[in-house]
Amino acid sequence: MANGQWYPPEWPDRIRALADGTLTPVQPRRAATVMLLKDIEGAEDTEGATGGIAVHMLRRRASMAFAGGAYAYPGGGVDPRDHERLVAWAGPSRADWAARLDVTETEAQAIVCAAVRETYEEAGVLLAGPTEGSVVSDTTGADWEADREALVRRDLSFAAFLDHRGLVLRSDLLGAWTRWITPEFEPRRYDTWFFVAALPEGQRTRNVSTEADRTVWIAPADATAGYDRGELLMMPPTIATLRQLGAYDQAGAALAAASGRDLTPVLAQARLENGELVLAWPGHDEFTQHLPAAHGGPNAQGPSA
């Protein structure tokens, strides 16, 4: 494989099993991930302009069952407790977020909470503040770390954490960017909303994720170039969003553009074509894979979405 597209060797057999009815898709778990951005100085593009953005990425440990060794953004599944009670909230209303994400208001709160919580758990960055117009400037103390670890263990709910700290969740610091659903033939499936956010002033990222062995700030163009050379392993949603972010030279510009982004879910399709299984992501032709269909047959028509 010339580029760094993550591609598990068991996928062809799982696609065939789904096609012949011997594999039943699992229900995807709702999740959120955040593309944390910051402005960088001194970067020069091909036309000689200076400036640009960097995105925070982590490399998943090779031992991880899902996408081991791949570069990704901080993120994870929704905690059911994030549905249970209202949290102190700033920015667009829950109703606004529900309309934007195409879910109920309580579900919208849970998804936004997941985005903010996972960014804190995996990068040490917290999009919340003591008032609706402020954000905490430092989360590096021992007491903050104790709370972060309690969140990771799920000993502490995010709502309880915000209450304990007297903090307001800053939903206005997030922009919904895209939505991808893990293919139906994967045993671990996620219905994931991708958000963008700018690194708050005074805060810094830390490599605190138990799932990562490396974290980097990298320009989207450098990340995509590493992927194209086969040096950086990534899943399709990651490389697709990096290519999209490459159009912006300021974090604020990317955040402003989020409101106009299409959130129609992207779900892989598989089909039998000229004796091959063709795996494709609608709207993203670069990820199309042609797989041998040696074990297929007249009933090996793949799933569609």
Q: Exposed, middle or buried by CB within 10 Å (0-12, 13-18, 19+), for 65? A: exposed
pLDDT for position 131: 96
Provide the sign of the torsion angle of the four alpha carbons 138, 57, 270, 260, taken in this order: positive
Helix/strand/coil for 182:
coil
Q: How confident is the model at residue 65 (pLDDT cuts 50, 70, 90)?
A: low
R_g of the chain, CA atoms, integer Å: 20
The CATH H-level (homologous superfamily) assignment of domain 26-258 is Nucleoside Triphosphate Pyrophosphohydrolase (3.90.79.10)
pLDDT in tens, 202-257: 899 987 776 668 889 999 999 999 999 999 999 999 999 999 999 999 999 999 99
Structural domain boundaries in the chain: 26-258
Provide the sign of the torsion angle of the four alpha carbons 136, 139, 141, 147, taken in this order: positive
Least confident of 79-83, 86-90, 93-97, 231-235: 79-83
**Rounded average pLDDT over 157-165:** 94
Q: Has residue 59 got a pLDDT over 70?
A: yes
